[in-house]
Every structure is written in C-alpha cells, then in structure tokens.
Amino acid sequence: MIEIKNIHKTYTMGKVEVKALDGVSLKIDDGEFVAIMGASGSGKSTLMHILGLLDRPDAGQYLLRGQDVTALSDEALAVVRNGLIGFVFQQFHLLPRMSALENAELPLVYAGKRHLREKARAELAGVGLQDRVLHRPSELSGGQQQRVAIARSLVNDPVMLLADEPTGNLDSRSKAEIIAILKQLNARGKTVVIVTHEPEVAQQTRRIITMRDGKVIADAKNVPAGGSAVSAVTPESGSTVKDLLAERHRVAGKIKFLDYVRQALSAMISHKMRSILSILGILIGVAAVIAMLALGTGAKVSIEQQLQSLGSNLLWLHPAHGRSGAVALESTATRFTQVDIDLLARLPHVKRVYGSVTARAQVVYGSNNTNTQVEGTGTEYPAMRAATPVAGRFFTEQEMRAREKVALLGTTVLTNLFGEANPVGETIKINLINFKVIGVLPSKGSGGFRDQDDTVIVPLTTAMYRVFGKQYIDSIYVEAVSAGDIDAAQEEVRRALNKQHRLKADDTESVDIRNMSEIKSTLESTMKTLTMLLGSIAAISLLVGGIGIMNIMLVSVTERTREIGLRKAIGANNKDIMMQFLIEAVLMSFIGGIVGIVLGAGASVVMKLAAGWAVQVSLFSIVLATVFSLIVGVVFGLWPASQAAKLNPIEALRYE
Ligand code: ADP
Ligand code: MG
C-alpha cells in the first residue's frame, strides 16, 4: 500500500539545518492500524505530511499503491489527496463560518461529486453527529469538531486515514470517543495511521513505530488490549492512483461553475461587513464616473443644440484689441457705428446684419428686481438668431429709429419678475428708466456656462443713447446668404471695413471677425476639456475605490491563507482556489458596479430634475465604469490569492 524509501527532509533556519527526516524507510500494508510515536520534534508530523502528500520530501521515494508519487504534478497530488487520503489534524481545521455539514461535504465539491451530499450527512451520523449537522464549529465541543473533521476525511472513501495527534487538543472523554471511532474504522478495513505521544493511545493500535531525531528507531507489532495483532477483516481494496487520475480527468468538467459561485457567495455572506466595504468602494467610484460623465456629455449636447440654433452662416465682428506696451487698448480706429452696419448690409454675399451692445443692468418690476444682461439689437435679431417672440412682438424699424423704450424678456427674467403673469403691456424699469414690455423671447435653454434666457432685449439705439450712454456699437452680427458663402462674405466684410476705416487692405488684425463654426469648435474643445476634467475626477475616485478593494482583498486573502491551506489539503488545486477568489472578486465588483450604475444614473436624473442641468448618461461611461471595476476586482483579488495558492498546503495551514 505505502512504501517509502530513504526519505529526507531538511529545514534550513538561517544557518542552522534541521534534519526533520533523516533517511526514513517504511512499509505500511492495507488494513493496518499504526501508531507513530516519539518525542516532540522527532519528525512525526513531517513524516505524516509527506505520507499525506501535503509536503514533498527533499529526497527519497514514495510508492503509493505501487505508483511513485514524488514525481506527480501539484494538480495530480491534489486529486490523490482528495480521493485516496483522509487527513485529520490536531487543530481540526474546520472552516469557521460553515456548518458541520458544509465542512464535511467540502471534499465532495473538489471531487466533482456534490450530488453525493447525503454521503456527508451519513458520515456525520457515523461519528454520532446526526443532530448537529447545522451547527457551526464554534457551536461544537472540541471532540465534536474533531468528529466533524473525521467525517470530512471519510466523505470521499479514502483508503487511508492519517491523523496527526488527533486527540492532542481534547479532554480524556473526547479522546476516548475519537480513539473508538478510529478503531472502528480500522475494524471496517480502513488503513489508519496515527501520530501520538501518548502511550495509552498507541497501545490501542496494532503496530508502533518510534522515531527520534528524524529516524525510525523502533518498529514493533503490538497486541491491543482485548484484540489481536492481525485484523480479521479483509482490507478495503480501493482504487489505484492511476485509476483515480483517469477518473478525475473524466469528471473534471463536472466541478461546476455553480459550485464555485456557491463557495464565493457563502464566503461573501460570511464576511458581510468586509464584503459591503469592498462593494462600497467600487460603488462610489462607478457612481461618480457615471454621474460626472453624464454631466459632461449633457453639457456638450446642450451646447451643440444651442449652436445649431445659431446657424453656421453667422459672422461675429468686434474691434480688435490693440496693444500699447503691456496695456491692451480697444482700437479707436475701428469703433463701429451705424454707418458700418448700413455698409455691410449692402454687400452682395451678406443677407442680414444687426449691431449689438450689451451691459448688465438692474431690472425692476413692482417689488421684484433682478440683475441681468440687457442687449440692444437690431430688428433683424429674431430672424438671425431664431428668436421669434413666443408672446407679443418684436420691436419695429420705426421704434428703433425713435429710440422707443420697449423691451422683450427672456424666460428666466420673465419668471424672476412676473412669475406666471402675462408681462406684455406691463412697465418695467431698466436702470430706473421705464420700459414697456412688448414681447417674450423663446427659451434657448440653459447649460454651458451662461443662462441664455437670462436676458432683456431692447432696440440698439435705445440701449446706446438712453440706457448705457454708449457712442459705439460693441459688435456686429452678419449673416451670409448661405452657409457656402461664409468665406466669401468674410472676405467682403474684411475689405469693406478696412476701406471704410482707412486701414491697409491686407490688415487682418484691427477687426476681429469670427464665424460660428470657429466659435463652435472653440466651445467644443472647451467642453472636451471640461468633460475630461470631470472624468478624471471620477477616475480618481474609482481608483481610490479600487485601492480600497485591494486593501480589503489583501487582508481577506491573508486572513484566509489557512482556509486556502485547508482547501488544498482536502483536494483543491490551484485552479480551484483561483476560481473561487476570482469569482468572489468579480461578484463583488460586479454588484458594486451595477449598484453604482443605478446610483450614478439616479444622481444624474436628480441633477436634471432638481438643478435643471443638462445630463445624459452615456453607454460609454457605463461600459468604462463596469470594465474598470471588474479589472480592479480581478487584479487586486487575484494577485494575493495566487500568492496564497502557490504555498504548499502545510505552509498555508501553518500561516499565522
Ligand atoms: P514532531 O511532529 O515530531 O513534533 P515535526 O515533524 O513537526 O516534529 O518537526 C521536526 C523538526 O523539524 C523539528 O525540529 C522542527 O523544529 C522542524 N521543523 C518542522 N517544520 C518546520 C518548518 N516549517 N521550518 C523549519 N523547521 C521545521
Ligand atoms: Mg507534530
């Protein structure tokens, strides 16, 4: 059954070499009941770990059912541990957050035989725990815990049971129970090897091997009290290593994804607080990204809409700023007057023209007042700026010439001054001068940097001479005959103005001429910067969330190193461990991501409704946030898990 030849294992502690095993050779047959004795530090546990394939020897040969197992891969070793060997530890090593039943059935999961769950229940009944299956380890006595561990070791029908001081942590009554169980198992034909330093335990077995300083110093048959030296039962046959590996190859696909998910879920649920904190980090990050990008995109879209309504065949002219030393001066040579407007209106590629002056002013109606932008424009304004009044009318050429005190209100000013009431025909004061309201402008929408509806329009002449006392026009808007004529119109305008103002023909500096597509692209690039700014703030918060997950994952994996060791000891391979942590990490970041998306989208809707901001949740931001959160979860969860999974089971189990 087992044959080891000249096994060596040396631990190096700094400069000191400890020969834990120094050339041990042994043969144990099927159905034997063996005790290994010896002083503390004599190498008993080391030997057991090697027999149980939890550790590899430095040198020597190990034949298990005729097959040399020292050369097997880690993966194959996991299969053999899972199927042929049952291990019982002094410290029980039950998973604390799982019930007795879940603990006992764990090896079945890794064997791909979870449909045999009832087997776990039967094994628990076999050790007398049928009415404790749903108890957690903390709700069980030491003896009961060890019995769960024995049930766990038996659940896959191993041919050999290895127990390292199984009674070391128990009171004498529990001790007797455990010994009785082991004895009974051997009587049924199982090979049982048990390490003990207690003679009364060893006396129950049929063979006692004594070790000292890593060597076997005695190996003798023993006749237990009231028994015989030879078992009467034919030993269990069980499968060979080759059979087992072949069979596992067949069922490999059956270790189902759902089992991993179940394991991950139960791990998450058993550490609720930690899981919630991990999820929270990702959640906030994702929500921030979604909301910020929604804000950016929304602003961009609303600016684009406004620009659309401006039309792309508009030119915008204003006197350039000359320079005198370090001081910027408005060029006196190119101040605009009505003469310029009339001149430009006659050009062949020009369809319409109006002049504009703007300034802020205090506007009062009754007891309401507001500080707003007052703009003086020409009569072409409604046609050129898509601003036909929605109530009342625009002012006429006649009123313009007569410098009449008439005004049109933007919707924001309207609400501020009149609320719901009809303003047409009412009298308001602009900078203490009485104006008659003759119309209401259509809403241009807010968004971008300025509320376009927070404005009052009056005739240009009235604004210049009666309200602001300006002699010159601030800027002139020119509409080309068509969008295709915009360049020709610009050229014409430039030439005409240069001539009119006695500038050099090739002067392109004195008058600043911009067309709307230029303004559009400037605005668009500004918006892009803004979106990027918002996006990077959000990305930073996502990163911070990611670092949060990383911390928690690192702590979690480190804390669970012993769990990883136990899982490996009962048959999980690296892939199983990785899958478990991967699914756990992905599940958490996925939940965080989904809740974050909902929350971010919700926040966007709230911003839209409450603050009236233009927001638009984009698919891009959702994909970005989801992908990023998944990457964060996987990278920061997998890396520490792979570190832990690389440890051999014993190192991981010993981890403090
Ligand atoms: P026993 O179980 O018989 O008490 P062990 O097999 O645990 O003894 O240990 C045998 C020797 O190997 C002891 O001297 C112990 O200090 C040493 N040893 C065991 N494990 C390690 C380890 N991981 N690192 C260093 N030394 C170890
Ligand atoms: Mg020991």
| Dist CA 161 CA 2 (whole Å) | 12
Helix (H, G, I), strand (E, B) or coil at 145: helix
Percent over 70 (pLDDT), the chain: 93
DSSP-assigned beta bridge partners for residue 35: 194, 208
Arithmetic mean of pLDDT over the chain: 86
Look up residue 69 and give its two tokens: 């197992």
Angle, CA of 634, 640 and 646, to the nearest 5°: 115
Q: Assign residue 95 a region: left if phi > 0, alpha if psi is -120 to 50, beta otherwise?
A: beta
* pLDDT over 50 (residue 30): yes
pLDDT of residue 588: 84
Summarised one tens digit per residue, pLDDT across range 553-611 is 778 778 888 889 999 999 988 888 888 888 888 888 888 888 999 999 998 888 888 87
Q: In this structure, what DSSP letter does residue 235 have?
A: P
Between the CA of 8 and the centroid of ligand 1 the distance, in Å, is 13
Residue of 9, 18, 40 to test ligand 1 pocket, by largest number of atoms within 8 Å of CB: 18
CATH of domain 30-56+72-254: 3.40.50.300
Nearest CA to ligand 1 atom 22: 11
Determine the average pLDDT of the residues in 516-525.
76
Residues 30 and 159 sit within 8 Å (Cβ to Cβ): yes
Q: What is the pLDDT of residue 360?
A: 93
* C-alpha 46 to ligand 1 mean position (Å): 6
What ligand 1 atom has the least distance to the C-alpha of 42? 3
pLDDT at 324: 47
**Which stretches within 424-485 are classed as H helix?**
460-462
Q: In the chain, what's the furthest Cα-to-Cα distance?
A: 131
**Tokens 């003990």 label which residue?**
196
435 CA → ligand 1 middle, Å: 100
Which pLDDT does position 584 carry in this prediction?
Answer: 84
Q: Which two tokens stand for residue 202?
A: 């060893």
- pLDDT value, residue 33: 93
For residue 329, pLDDT beyond 60: no
- Of 96-105, 254-263, 592-601, the range with the lowest mean pLDDT is 254-263
Report pLDDT digits (tens) over 149-196.
999 999 998 989 999 999 988 999 999 999 999 999 998 889 999 999
Contact at 8 Å (CB) between 593 and 549? Answer: no
Taking residue 491's Cβ as centre, other Cβ atoms within 10 Å add up to 13
Q: Which atom of ligand 1 is nearest to the CA of 164?
A: 2
The per-residue pLDDT for range 343-360, each reduced to its tens digit, is 999 999 999 999 999 999
pLDDT tens for 452-491 read 889 999 999 999 999 999 999 999 999 998 878 888 999 9
Ligand 1 binding residues, C-beta < 6 A: 11, 13, 18, 20, 38, 40-46
Q: Which of 125-129, 383-387, 468-472 has the lowest mean pLDDT?
A: 383-387
Return the residue whose CA atom lies nearest to atom 13 of ligand 1: 41
Q: Please give the residue that has the higher pLDDT: either 434 or 231.
A: 434
- Enter the tokens of residue 243: 């059979």
Tell me how far CA of residue 181 lies from CA of 49, 120, 128, 175, 448, in angstroms.
Answer: 22, 16, 10, 10, 79
pLDDT band for 227, please (50, 70, 90 cuts).
low
Is a pLDDT exceeding 80 seen at residue 313? yes
Distance CA 166, CA 368 (A): 89
Instruction: Give φ, ψ of 419 to 5 degrees.
Output: 65, -120
Q: Which of 286-290, 326-330, 488-492 has the lowest mean pLDDT?
A: 326-330
Q: What's the CA-to-centroid distance between 175 and ligand 1, angstroms? A: 24
Cα–Cα distance measured from residue 655 to residue 646, given in angstroms and rounded to the nearest whole number: 13
Ligand number with the minimum distance to the CA of 13? 1
Confirm if 568 and 107 have CB atoms less than 8 A apart: no
* CA–CA gap between residue 16 and residue 10 (Å, rounded): 10
The CA dihedral of 619, 622, 627, 628, to the nearest 10 degrees, is: 130
Between 323 and 579, whose confidence is greater? 579
Structural Rg of the chain based on CA atoms: 43
Helices (DSSP H) in 112-212: which residue ranges? Answer: 117-126, 142-154, 172-187, 199-202
**Which residue CA neighbors atom 6 of ligand 1 most closely?**
43
CA of 654 to the centre of ligand 2 (A): 12
Task: Give the pLDDT confidence of 616-626 residue by residue, as tens digits.
Answer: 888 888 888 88
Coil, helix or strand for 78? Answer: helix
Residue 642 confidence (pLDDT) above 60 = yes
Structure confidence at residue 322 as a pLDDT band (50, 70, 90): low
Domains of the chain, residue spans: 30-56+72-254, 264-305+522-654, 321-509
Residue predicted with more confidence, 235 or 87? 87
Show the 3-state SS of 413-438. HHHHHHCCCCCCCCEEEECCEEEEEE
Q: Which tokens is 629 given?
A: 């959160």
Angle ∠(351,353,355) on CA atoms, nearest 5: 175
Q: Which residue do the tokens 């063996």 mark?
A: 34
Q: Can you tell me which atom of ligand 1 is nearest the CA of 43?
A: 6
Q: Is the pLDDT of residue 311 over 70?
A: no
For 441, residues 6+ apart whose C-beta sits below 8 A from its C-beta are 387, 389, 390, 408, 409, 410, 411, 453, 455, 457
Q: Confirm whether pTM is higher than 0.85.
A: no
Residue 73: CB atoms within 10 A of its CB come to 10
Q: Are the C-beta atoms of 634 and 548 separated by less than 8 Å? A: no
Nearest C-alpha to atom 12 of ligand 1 is from which residue? Answer: 20
Say if residue 330's pLDDT is above 60. Answer: no
Residues of the chain with pLDDT > 90, as a percent, come to 46
Which one is predicted more confidently, 385 or 636?
385
Higher pLDDT, 78 or 224: 78
Q: How far apart are the first and last CA of the chain?
A: 35
Q: Which of 87-96, 271-280, 418-427, 634-643 comes out lowest in average pLDDT? A: 634-643
Q: Name which residue leads in pLDDT, 402 or 292.
A: 402
